[in-house]
Every structure is written in C-alpha cells, then in structure tokens.
Amino acid sequence: MARDPDRPPEPFPPWIWFWLVIYLVTLPQQMALWRPIVARAAGFGLGRPDSLINAAAVLEGVPLLAVLLGVAAVFVPRLRAVWLERRFGLTDPAPLPTVLEIQTFVARHAPGLRVRANLLRTDQLAFVYPLTYRKAALAIFGGIVTLWGTDPAAARAVLLHEIAHYRHGDVLAVGAGNLLGTLTARWLVLYLALVVIPLVVVGLIDRVTAVRSLLALNAAGVPFSPFEIGIHLTRQVVGTTLPAVMLIGAALMLWTASVIVLPLAAIWSAELNADRYAADAGGAADLDRALAALPAAGSTRQWLLSRMSHPPIRLRRFAAALAARGRGALLLLLLLPVAYVVRLALLVCWALAAFPLLGGAIDLGTWLQGNVRGYVAAIGRVWLPMAAFLLLWPRLAPHWQRVWLPADVATRPSLAGACVAAAVAVGVLGLAGVVADGTIAAHLRRQPATAAIPAWQRGDRVEVEWRGKWWKATILDVADGRVLVHYEGFGRSWDEWVPPSRIRKPD
C-alpha cells in the first residue's frame, strides 16, 4: 500500500503500558521477594563465613529496587518536565524561518504538541517529553536546525520518531529524563557499580578478617612468618575468594538481566513502533539517514554503557526496512511475549550458576522442574490477556490515539492479520501454561485448586518435605493451590512453589 502521511498505519499495541499494568497488578505478590532480602540485610555482617552468600542475597534487591523506582517516576511527569527544561535550558522558540517551518510540520502530525527550544546546543537534535499526563512538548536544538538545512528529509524523520511517541501514548514511559528508561539504558553500569564492586569489597574484607585471625594467633604464641601468612592469603584469594566472587557476580548478572528484560523489551517495542511511523510517514531511506545522524549512534561499547534503552542502530535499520516493505509486523508484535521466554531462560541459567554455591544441598533437577513449571503457569496467566489484547487491538487502536491527541487524526488499518496470528500464537502458549498448572483440570474434576489449601498464611513457619526429609521454611505467598516457601538457611534462589501436601506444621 502506498504511503500516505495524512493516514499513517495504526500503531503497534502499547506494550510498555501493558507491562506497566501487569507490574502494578502483581506488585503485592512481588513484595514477597523482598522479605528474604530484608531478612538477610538485617542479619548481614562482614567477615563471617557466609558474608559473600548473604551479600549476594541482599544485592538481588538492587535491580528490583531500580525497576520499582523507574515505574514510580512514570507517574510524576511534571517533575520530569521541570528537570528537563532546567537542565537543557528550554524556552519558547524564537520566530526564525526554520523554526516556524518545524512548528508547522509538527502541528500537521501532532496537533497540540508544544515546541520548546534551545538553539545554542548543537550536541542534541530533538526529544519529546511530557508536561502533564496528556500534554507533551517537543524539545528542538541547534542540531536539528542544522540538519533541517542540510538534509530536511532526515530532519523530518527525526521529528517524526519523536512525534510518534506522543501519538502512540508512550511519552510518559520512554524518552529523555524518564527514570525507567535511564535505568534500563544503564543497567550494565548499575550492575558494575552496585553489585560487582560491593561483592569485591566484601570478599576483600573477608580476607582481611582472616589475616587478622592469623595475626591474633601469632600474638598468642603460634608462630607464623609473614611469608607464610602471605602465601596463605594468596591461596585463599586465588583459590576461594576470586572464584566465589566471579561465580556470584555471574549469577547476579543473570538475575539482573532477568529483571530488566521485560521493561527493556517493552521500551524497545515503543522505539521500533516510533521508527515504523517515521519510516511510513517520511520514508525508510530518510529514517536510515536520520539514524546515522544521531549523536549517540556510536560504538557498541557506548551503546552497552548508556544506550541500551534504544535497540541497536542495525536492528532499527533492519526493522524499518521490513516495515517499509510491509513485513515484520508479526515479529514486532511478539517482541514482548518472546521476552517472557527469554526471562525464563535467564532464570534457568541463573539457577545453574547459583547452584554450586549451595553445595548440592537441594536437588537441582527437582528445583528447576518445580520453579520452571510455576513460572510457565504464571506467564500463562499473562499471555492469555495478552492474546485477547492483540485480538482486540485493531479496534482499540483509534480510541487509544484519541486519548493522547486533541484532534481526531486518521490512521489506516494495517495490523489485523498480524494481530490475529500473534494472538493465536500467544493464546496457545498461554493456555498451555495454565493447563500445565493443573488449575483447569482441577476445575473440570470439580476440585478447585483452592480447596486443597489449608489455613496457611504469609509468614507462617513450616516444614517442607523434599526427597524424604523435612526442611524448615517460611511461607512467602499462597496462590492457586500452591505455596511459595523460603528454606531457612538457603539463598532466595531456592525458593519454590510447592503443593500443600508437602507442607506440615513444625514439630
């Protein structure tokens, strides 16, 4: 179908908002993850034999807290606007000819979008940011004015990408100054600063404590030469501390990635959706030149450290080219659903990395089977409404845009077939997950899963059967006929959902 700037294709589903709703709905259940972390933090002490393990359990809360703060910041757009306008010196633009052309272009595609400017800054092009929940502004800089003069088509593509965020209703959750996007963009830096460095410090303090113990023995009359102490310390650092720090660091990196992957996929969906609008309304070749002109379109190292909230430039170019040919819609529609599968893979890898730290106290196969099944059942309950949302999206899309646009801007239908195919694929997976949980089978037998739940409450201290032995544990949550337990003396990685038949009151 030929391009029509006045009737662009309907947007993809706003996965960022779908994820935010799911996150907020499940927030009470997620709070159960904090109980063992807080308990470990309360009993944490440096120089103890279990200090590294306890530090790892406490540091698992870093990515959880980062996402929580990022979500909270989405709902205070005015603070974000004040901060951005002060930081970038944004004011009402001067009535220069180029600026007036840009304002006319913006008004055509996004009526109601206010334009703010700082033409003295040439290191920036443009970005959109919220003023209130439904109002937004487009910041333009000297860079976009220069680009407008040298390559106006590429400049328009840059502006169209930012305009799309406003039209699609994701400006509150993505873009400049957004804490959620900033934290996901720099999650690798946060991991290095807030996870790796504390682990190294705890490991070094452990060795210092060991040296002090040897010196105390030396003072008590046990002869140790400085050479022997140095050899012993080197062996401990190389043979014990360093491998433990590396293993724990790898496990925590996988855990951090598993926490970040869902909001990251949702943000990527919004960025690729904006690229699709820019490619259709302006042209794929124009967008390609605009992507190359971005100040942050630098090295892979730069992207890893500060730009991960945006897909890699090559991926954006590839997706834009597919969209220009009317292809790739199904792949982009499935980006967030596939992220749930990626998260499962990361959690399995995290468990495999953390398993040696427990010395085989719990059977890995049993733990993986129980927790993978529980996770598949949980995401099954997410995939089913996701499938329904996909199926209804072609009818919802016009109404969604009217929420954000003060004028009724027409779009042309373009996703009906892809939405049906994606809904079928996601719905089948969701149904399989729910069936694997046994809930449907229990209802068919007229034995609801909730009927088997005894009067267990969160916080109850119980004993849980595992391989013929009973282990002390604390109940973290009760849902859908199963109980989430935390084994006392073990890391949070060994928490699992168990049936009530494996639980009893302590002797």
* 213 CB burial (10 A radius; 0-12, 13-18, 19+): exposed
User: Residue 391: pLDDT above 90?
Assistant: yes
Question: Is residue 269 within 8 Å of residue 309, measured between CB atoms?
Answer: no
User: Residue 1: pLDDT above 50?
Assistant: no
Backbone angles phi, psi at 504, to 5 degrees: -145, 165
* CATH class entry, domain 80-171: alpha beta
CA distance 305 to 423: 35
Least confident of 91-100, 180-189, 335-344, 365-374: 365-374
Give 4's pLDDT tier (boundaries 50, 70, 90): low
CA distance 434 to 376: 8
Question: Is residue 59 within 8 Å of residue 252, measured between CB atoms?
Answer: yes
User: Residue 222: pLDDT above 70?
Assistant: no
Sequence spans of domains, the chain: 80-171, 451-504
Most confidently modeled range among 57-71, 146-160, 401-415: 146-160
User: Residue 482: pLDDT above 60?
Assistant: yes
User: Residue 380: pLDDT above 50?
Assistant: yes
Give the model's pLDDT for residue 40: 64
Average pLDDT over residues 404-433: 83
User: Residue 3: pLDDT above 60?
Assistant: no
Question: Is residue 263 within 8 Å of residue 323, measured between CB atoms?
Answer: no
CA distance 56 to 473: 20
CA distance 32 to 475: 9
Question: Is residue 262 within 8 Å of residue 22, measured between CB atoms?
Answer: no
pTM for this prediction: 0.80
Q: At 135, list the tokens.
A: 């109002």
Q: Is 116 helix (H, G, I), strand (E, B) or coil?
A: strand
Q: Identify the residue with better confidence: 438 or 224.
A: 224
**What is the DSSP secondary structure assignment for residue 239, as one 8-state letter?**
I
Q: Which residues contact 338 (CB under 8 A, 6 or more apart)?
A: 265
Average pLDDT over residues 383-394: 93
CA distance 280 to 282: 6
In angstroms, what CA-CA distances link 52 with 38, 65, 243, 361? 16, 20, 12, 17
Least confident of 213-222, 311-320, 457-466, 482-491: 213-222
* CATH class entry, domain 451-504: mainly beta
Percentage of the chain exceeding pLDDT 90: 28
Average pLDDT over residues 6-29: 86
Strand-pair category, 126-130 with 136-141: antiparallel
Average pLDDT over residues 122-134: 91
**b/e per residue 251-273 (b: at least 16 CB within 10 A):** bbbbbbbbbbbbbbbbbbbbbbb
Is-same-fold flag (80-171; 451-504)?
no
CA distance 480 to 252: 29
